Amino acid sequence: MDLSSLLLCVLSEVLAVNYVAFAQERIVGGYAPVPHSIKYIVSIQTTDRQHFCGGSLINKYWVITAAHCDQGINNMLIVAGDYSLAIYEGTEQEIMPHLLIPHPDYSRSTNNNDIMLIKLRAPVYLNSYVSIALLPRQGASVAEGRVCRVSGWGYTSSVGEQIPSTLRTVTVPIVSTEKCNSSESFNGNITENMLCAGYSTGGKDACEGDSGGPLVCEGRVYGVVSWGEGCAEAQFPGVYTTVSRYRHWIDDTVFNYYNRTKGSVVLAQNELESIVQNSWIDVFHFIEWMYSGSNNSSRPQH
């Protein structure tokens, strides 16, 4: 069976089953959620188990995070199912990365295109502590004022650099790009690939250590924690990478990986079943990708 036929078979089966389914930063001004209620978040750690970034599990083999969280494949450990970093709870799953794929146009100087995919060396086991995050479709937007939630293990204070042992979360409203780019705020440094969220009075925000973690709006990861001016500062909301700007890049990157490994049909079948479990993939884009040729170099990056 060739890869195209395999993809169609897996996609049709999963959609039939699931038709009715649906700069380092930390949390300031938030609270500890119910343990293991945010099941898609992962802690990205050094190999000696020091947390430094967050991420979101988008299927059993892939994590989405910020490009500036790239510490090198041999220096990173992905931990799913964690809640308290201070104790071993028995729910953790530790997996080494197999591949790091930062966006090809990522700019460290401007923070533009601050997004990265991590291919895991082994799949995570989905259970009552670990699940998959949903992503928005390409070009989807979230309205100004919409209240979203950002989570992570980052600092709880930008002053005393207080580090929590447990996961924290906080709700923040979406801020328009126009306001975020005003002379009183980021003064034109917000690109079309960025999303702002926070309060004009400050007090609630992501902070150091939350980078790469999810900003969830309407049940989907619309933002990846990217950068900001301090933490929870008045007039300076948190800045996130807009995931919906990169949905096609995410899909193309994942499927092109399997196209390169199509010699192993067993590998492709096992992993692709997981890929489309996040079944609200952009089906029409998937079909376009498959029939137009996965190595189409003229396709826009996002």
Catalytic residues: 68, 114, 211
Backbone angles phi and psi of 255, in degrees to 5: -70, -35
Q: For residue 164, how far is the Cα from the chain centroid?
A: 21
Three-state SS for 11? helix
69, amino acid identity:
C
Q: Residue 277: count other Cβ atoms within 10 Å of its Cβ.
A: 17
Among the listed residues 224, 218, 266, the one whose alpha carbon sits nearest the alpha carbon of residue 64: 224
- List all residues 6 or more positions away from 198 whose beta carbon is below 8 Å from its beta carbon: 172, 173, 175, 204, 205, 232, 236, 237, 238
> Which amino acid makes up residue 208?
E
- Residue 165, SS3 per DSSP: coil
Tokens at residue 161, please?
């650099």
Classify strands 77-80 and 93-95 as parallel, antiparallel or unpaired: antiparallel
